[in-house]
Structure 1
Amino acid sequence: MDFPVLETNRLKLIEIKEAHVDHIYSIFSNEEVIRFYGMAPFQQKEQAINLIQSFSKNFQEKRSIRWGIYLKETYELVGTLGLNNLSLAQKRTEIGYDLLPAYWRRGIVSEAVEAIIHYCFEELKLFRIGAVTFTENESSYKLLLKLGFQQEGLLRGYIYQNDKSNDTLLFSLIKPEWKQSF
């Protein structure tokens, strides 16, 4: 399967390659970006190379897809967006995203997620898209609710980060509900 490149008005969602190592390092070494990511900030570029390689391997194995969020206007890679725990047989996945703080509150993630939702339901023929957010990540869960996701529950102590187990909220969007708003 070829990597699916997607486009919106302002964005191109592209395959992340080793040529993007500086951008990926910039994103994942930023403490504000990974604050709710479930990992420590990168300290070395080699970590970015390893992450890019894992994105590629997981795509080849049809376990996940991770896009780079590329701004058409400035030719910059400013974040990533992906499908985790992808199960084509079970018709489900989980969505995750990150964006450099300089680009927050511009509707970029919302625009990218809408394109991914369409791709999931129309191209991959999935039934369910899940999302997990830290309880404190108000921006993320408000975005999910705005896009039609429903909160399903609380996952207690679900993500270990910063030497503690953190509670998270679980959201989902299923195709019949998306169709109603589409």
Structure 2
Amino acid sequence: MQTVLSQALHTPRLIVRAIQENDLPDLFKVFSDDTVTRFLPYITWEDTLAAHSWYARAREMAAQASAVQCVIVDKESSQVIGSCLLFRFDTESERCELGYALAQSHWGGGYMAEALRALLTHAFGEMGINRVEAEVDPRNPASAQLLRKLGFTQEGLLRQRWKMKGEIKDTWMFSLLRDEWQAANRPG
């Protein structure tokens, strides 16, 4: 099982690629929005120090082969409009988790589904992953709907799973298996 993104992924409207330091100004626009970060496990970025701190953690996790942090680039504007990542790799079980965030200005346009289709195809193919998991705050039905649209199965509710931002939160657990993805995405 690989734990790196070996190449940029291209879709009709997007490029999904590894993060670079020069992406931080665009990402700051995404992660400085309280609406975007409401259900994320980290605080809203208030300054560039938060952005650089996050980037340093992303680079450290990549160096340890524990995460693949990607940005989502809109081909038309060349702007970074969001991020997605695979993390918490379990190489023995060929499993990882999925995370994602998108600029509010691009919500409802199918951008995240398009980006995640490319990332999941790569994960289940070249990376050799068998199971992708995702957790969703029950108060975020749009995220749950996105995962269902991509073929994820909701496996259950994990009660009081996390304490984030001073609040104890439940989470829905979703998963998608390689054979399910391949069966649903066969050409023809």
Normalising to structure 2: TM-score of the pair? 0.92
1:109 is paired with a residue of what secondary structure? helix
The share of aligned pairs that are identical, in percent, is: 29
Check the 8 A contact 1:88/1:124 in 2, yes or no.
Answer: no
Q: Which stretch shows the higher mean deviation, 80-89 or 126-135?
A: 80-89
Q: 1:69 aligns with which of 69, 72, 77?
A: 72
How much is the aligned-residue C-alpha RMSD, in angstroms?
Answer: 1.4
Trace 1:74-153 onto structure 2 (pairs within 5 A).
74-153=77-156
Letter in 2 for 1:165: I
Structure 2 residues without counterparts, runs of 5 or longer: none
Deviating beyond 6 angstroms after TM superposition, the runs of 4 or more aligned structure 1 residues are: none
Residue 88 of structure 1: CA displacement? 2.8
Counterpart AA for 1:34: T
Aligned length: 182
Alignment correspondent of 1:25 = 28
Provide the rounded CA distance (Å) in 2 between the counterparts of 1:169 and 1:126: 21
CA distance in 1, matches of 2:87, 2:127: 14
Name the SS for the 2:60 alignment partner: helix
Match of 1:49 in 2: 52
d(CA) in 1 for partners of 2:162, 2:36: 16
Give the match for residue 157 of structure 1: 160
Deviation at 1:60, TM superposition (A): 1.9
Measured against aligned partners, the alpha-carbon deviations of 1:31-89 in whole angstroms (never above 9, x if no partner) come to: 01101102221122111011112112211211010111000011100100010212233
TM-score by length of 1: 0.94
Change (3 A) 1:181 1:160: same
Residue in structure 1 matched with residue 13 of structure 2 by the alignment: 10
Q: For the Cα contact (< 8 Å) 2:84–2:99, is it kept in 1?
A: yes
By how many angstroms is 1:162 displaced? 3.8
Once residues 183 and 49 of structure 2 are traced to their aligned partners in structure 1, the CA distance between those partners, rounded to angstroms, is: 45
- Measured in 2, the distance between the counterparts of 1:97 and 1:176 equals 23
Matches of 1:3 and 1:140, distance apart in 2: 27
Instruction: Name the structure, 1 or 2, with higher relative contact order (CA <8 Å, separation 6+).
Output: 2
CA contact (8 A) 2:67 2:86 kept: yes
Secondary structure in structure 2 of the residue aligned to 1:123: coil
Does the 8 A contact of 2:36 with 2:101 survive in 1? yes
